[in-house]
Amino acid sequence: MPVTISYTFPDAFAPRIIEAFCVTYGYQQNVLDPDNPGQTIPNPETAAEFARRKVAEYTKEVITAYETKKTQQTLATAAVEAVKQEIQTAEVVIDAVQE
């Protein structure tokens, strides 16, 4: 089942949100024309679409970072426990060398 995340801001706030994401993440009003090297065309992605995409990407990055950290912690704990088990069952013999 998909999850929908929505934010509700006053209408007057929308331009500030879009501008903040566009400036922060480097939106370009004009992009290189794939059909004419060296030429530019208006960006087919609007500033609002860009901002929406960046919010979605940021959300995915946060989730990925969290899940990665959680998995690393779980694996580290399991590795430590495995070493502890191995050490407990190991017989340690130290031969003293005398000169």
Over the stretch 75-89, which tens digit does the pLDDT of each residue have? 999 999 999 888 888
Q: Which domain holds residue 46?
A: 11-89
42 within some domain: yes
35 within some domain: yes
- Note the pTM of the prediction, 2 decimals: 0.71
6 within some domain: no
In the chain, % of residues over pLDDT 70: 97
56 within some domain: yes
User: CB under 8 Å, gap of 24 or more: what pairs does 47-50 form?
Assistant: 47/18, 47/19, 47/22, 48/14, 48/18, 50/21, 50/22, 50/25
53 within some domain: yes
Please count the structural domains in the chain: 1
pLDDT confidence band for 99 (50 / 70 / 90): low
Over the stretch 47-58, which tens digit does the pLDDT of each residue have? 999 999 999 999
50 within some domain: yes
1 within some domain: no
